[in-house]
Amino acid sequence: METIKRRSWAEPFKIKSVEPLRMTTREERELTIKEAGFNTFLLKSRDVYIDLLTDSGTNAMSDFQWAGMMLGDEAYAGSENYYHLEDKVKEFYGYTHLVPTHQGRGAENLISQILIKPGQYVPGNMYFTTTRLHQELAGGKFVDVIIDEAHDPIAEHPFKGNVDLQKFENLINKVGAEKIAYITIGATVNMAGGQPISMENLRAVYQLASKNKIKVVFDATRAMENAFFIKKREKAYENKTIKEILLEMCSYSDAATMSGKKDLLVNIGGFLAMNDYEIFEEARNMVVVYEGLHTYGGLAGRDMEAMARGIEEACQFNHLQARIGQVEYVGNRLIELGVPIVRPIGGHAIFLDAKQFYPQLEQLNFPAQTLAAELYLDSGIRAMERGIVSAGRNKETGDHYYPKLELVRLTFPRRVYTQAHCDVTVESVFEVWQNRKNVKGLKMIYEPKYLRFFQARFEKL
Ligand SMILES: *Cc1c(COP(=O)(O)O)cnc(C)c1O
């Protein structure tokens, strides 16, 4: 008798509304990428076929969230939607106080200015672009304390986002706890390839930090996706719900910054949350300067409602299984075809190892930037550089940071693309891999002062 292996999951939704895609020819793309200075951030969306630039704010909202948009209470002060959001943050993340912000970096700005005194250190499990920049603007100095495996694209560690406790302790011993503003803990560490941190490590970091009276600020942007990995990979948690795991994760921190544009299935929104009333008072006061009154923080009432509803949907196991399953599907197919990607496959994206695509290029010929441009030329698929351009320059020496990894990120928006789109993506990446030999690099011809990867321009060598 014939047997088939049954799929273990499928998307837990069906499609009610569609958005047409535009396809272009190679000739058209030769022009558009040149006009965009070989920077995929500068392409017009209408010239892109499958957009894997980012999973930030590119999520498809549910009918329930869209219905919530009509229930926006657009009062300047005390919007109903703020109180709904506050309830959901308390219920799912466990923090007592909420300050909404227009997106994650708004929250990062507030917490950095409140907690960092100039000259203090801010350790973290690898940097994130906006997080580190706000820390530096507040006078802080970022120190990477992630485990070494995170910098190795093929190390098969199940929790490559873990903090190296020894590195953290060495820093405390070297500079003194009072010189450390706080430690930032990222979940499914973006810059390491979407790699999770374990509950055991979160607990240990919190214990070590608390013992030294150092606060833990949790970047909860991707914490639900991290909770899924904990359930899958950490024995003690296999029978716990995502909600239970998330609450425990957050309990090992004093405050959280959040970009709702990722986990929370919305197009805009974020928040700062904390338990400490004094920090809350300060943040609530400061948010008025930068974002808006403390009950809207730069968001419309309807945006807060969509985010409140998104929290509940995002925390469903079936949603996370399909979301992370889609990324794994693409990653496993690329591995079968011999394309070099960061292992293990992360939560939100596939990271192509550009150094292995183009061993003929120096790091200053921008291998990852080149690969992203080649992929766009091949098929109109838009990806993003995560290498030397993203890493930026050291503020003190003015020199480039030279990251160990030169990666191109294919980031999957939540609930947006189908399996056929995934197949087309795999085919195009494979084509670019096969044509890798004669590719020449790029030269930077314009460099902005802050977060240069967004607006830098390049020319073909
Ligand atoms: C996107 C992101 C941020 C910044 O959030 P924005 O909403 O883009 O300002 C911070 N941390 C992580 C891990 C992110 O992925």
Q: Which residues contact 385 (CB under 8 A, 6 or more apart)?
A: 40, 366, 368, 369, 372, 407, 408, 409, 453
> Hey, whose CA ends up nearest to atom 3 of ligand 1?
104
Q: How far is the CA of 438 from the centre of ligand 1 (A)?
A: 36
- DSSP assignment, residue 363? G
Domain borders along the chain are: 26-48+317-460, 63-314
Three-state SS for 418? Answer: coil
CA atoms 217, 220, 225, 231: torsion sign: positive
So which residues are the catalytic ones?
A: 76, 128-129, 219, 262, 386, 453
Per-residue pLDDT of the chain (461 residues; tens, 9 = 90+): 778 888 889 999 999 999 999 999 999 999 999 999 999 999 999 999 999 999 999 999 999 999 999 999 999 999 999 999 999 999 999 999 999 999 999 999 999 999 999 999 999 999 888 999 999 999 999 999 999 999 888 899 999 999 999 999 999 999 999 999 999 999 999 878 889 999 999 999 999 999 999 999 999 999 999 999 999 999 999 999 999 999 999 999 999 999 999 999 999 999 999 999 999 999 999 999 999 999 999 999 999 999 999 999 999 999 999 999 999 999 999 999 999 999 999 999 999 999 999 999 999 999 999 999 999 999 999 999 999 999 999 888 999 999 988 999 999 999 999 999 999 999 999 999 999 999 999 999 999 988 899 999 999 99
> Hey, whose CA ends up nearest to atom 10 of ligand 1?
104
> Hey, whose CA ends up nearest to atom 6 of ligand 1?
104
CA distance 408 to 341: 9
Read off the pTM. 0.93
CA distance 314 to 265: 7
146 contacts 189 by C-beta, under 8 angstroms: yes
Architecture of domain 63-314: 3-Layer(aba) Sandwich (3.40)
101, 105, 258, 263, best to mutate for ligand 1 pocket (most atoms within 8 Å of CB): 105
CA distance 258 to 93: 11
For domain 26-48+317-460, the CATH class is: alpha beta
Name residue 124's beta-bridge partners.
144, 184
- Cβ(369) to ligand 1 under 6 A? no
CA distance 286 to 113: 9
What is the radius of gyration, based on Cα positions, of the chain? 22
Question: Could you tell me what percentage of the chain is helix, strand and coil, using 3-state DSSP and rounding each to the nearest 5?
Answer: 45, 15, 40
Which one, of 201, 239, 237, lies nearest residue 218 by Cα? 201
CA distance 32 to 23: 13
- Cβ(259) to ligand 1 under 6 A? yes
- Shortest-distance atom of ligand 1 to CA 261: 7
pLDDT in tens, 283-292: 999 999 999 9
Domains 26-48+317-460 and 63-314 share a fold: no
pLDDT in tens, 119-141: 999 999 998 889 999 999 999 99
